[in-house]
Amino acid sequence: MAIPQSPVWFITGCSTGFGRDLARLVLDRGWRAVVTARGRDRVADLVEGNANALALDLDVNDEAQIAAAVSATHERFGRIDVLVNNAGYGYQATAEEGVEAEIRAQFDTNVFGLFALTRAVLPVMRAQRSGNIVNFTSVAGLVGFPGSGYYAASKHAVEGWSDSLLAEVAPLGIAVTCVEPGPFRTDWAGRSLRQTPSSIADYANTAASRMEGTKAISGTQAGDPVRAGEAIIAAVERDSPPRHLVLGRFGFDAVTGKLRERLQAIEEDRATSLGADFPEQDQPSS
């Protein structure tokens, strides 16, 4: 996707983590950026004295705020070149002990909020016949881990939807990229992770152990969020932005290993799969 010399980036979840670092990188390049958070005072330092920046209140669960934010962006800058759907959080529990209210709240933000904001931005990009929609998912959007089933389900949902979205908007000049980070040195585990601890002994060595480990490694992860931001910018600047952008060695190894394993398993059942069709002699002629 050829982006303008001074593209307009619309980034959600900029108060901390990936969103904040990416917003800073975009603005440091002299580009224009809309930085959003649930409370724009949390991003005021990013935009202070910068005519290229606009800070907006945005809770992606609030349709009125979505409409107002997209309208304010178009009024200020006249276009949106890159939408970064970064807002979201994690929820860990065993599949058996997941709390219904927690599960639905996570889907409201990670899935339905992302859908709603994208729907609001698409008319702008369609009119431009250009744009890139960058959806933050996770390695968990491609690989399921114990204790993260509901989080993985929310990210798998965005991955599947992104495939369909790309098929619809690619002919209109709009790219779709899913960013799939592994463990990165942000405060995600301390700030953006909710847990329902397991009290069932049968899960002590699987889900419960992994949930404890997730918080224990916080601050020591190998992934550098600034380098991740640079990688995202480079991907968006390509003539053909990638559909998948897996970030970090852990993520790369986990995803490629899972995909090889999955393809091998599917191919091993090739005869069974093809045998589910009507016999060829019963197929209608073309």
Contact criterion met (CB below 8 Å) for 68 and 75: no
> What pLDDT sits at residue 1?
52
CA-based nearest residue to 86, from 118, 125, 120, 39? 118
Give the position of tokens 């909020």.
113
Q: Which two tokens stand for residue 234?
A: 């480079």
CA-to-CA separations, 88 to 53, 129, 221, 232, 249, in angstroms, rounded: 22, 28, 19, 18, 23
Choosing from 89, 91, 150, 151, the catalytic residue is 151
Distance between alpha carbon 190 and the CA centroid of its chain, in Å?
19
Give the position of tokens 């992860």.
221
The residues spanned by each domain of the chain are: 8-272
> What pLDDT sits at residue 226?
94
Contact criterion met (CB below 8 Å) for 46 and 23: yes
Measured distance CA(247)–CA(137) in Å, rounded: 11
Measured distance CA(15)–CA(37) in Å, rounded: 6
- Is residue 281 exposed (0-12), middle (13-18) or buried (19+ Cβ within 10 Å)? exposed
> What pLDDT sits at residue 3?
65
Question: Which CATH code is given to the segment(s) 8-272?
Answer: 3.40.50.720
> What pLDDT sits at residue 280?
82
3-class SS of residue 146: coil
* Dihedral (CA of 93, 99, 101, 104) sign: positive
Compute the half-sphere exposure of residue 141: CA atoms within 13 Å on the CB side of its CA.
27
CA-based nearest residue to 102, from 154, 55, 56? 154
150 in catalytic set: no
Measured distance CA(1)–CA(29) in Å, rounded: 18
Measured distance CA(223)–CA(230) in Å, rounded: 13
User: What is the signed CA dihedral for 93, 111, 26, 180, rounded to 10 degrees?
Assistant: 50
| Regions of the chain with pLDDT less than 50 | none
> What pLDDT sits at residue 5?
76
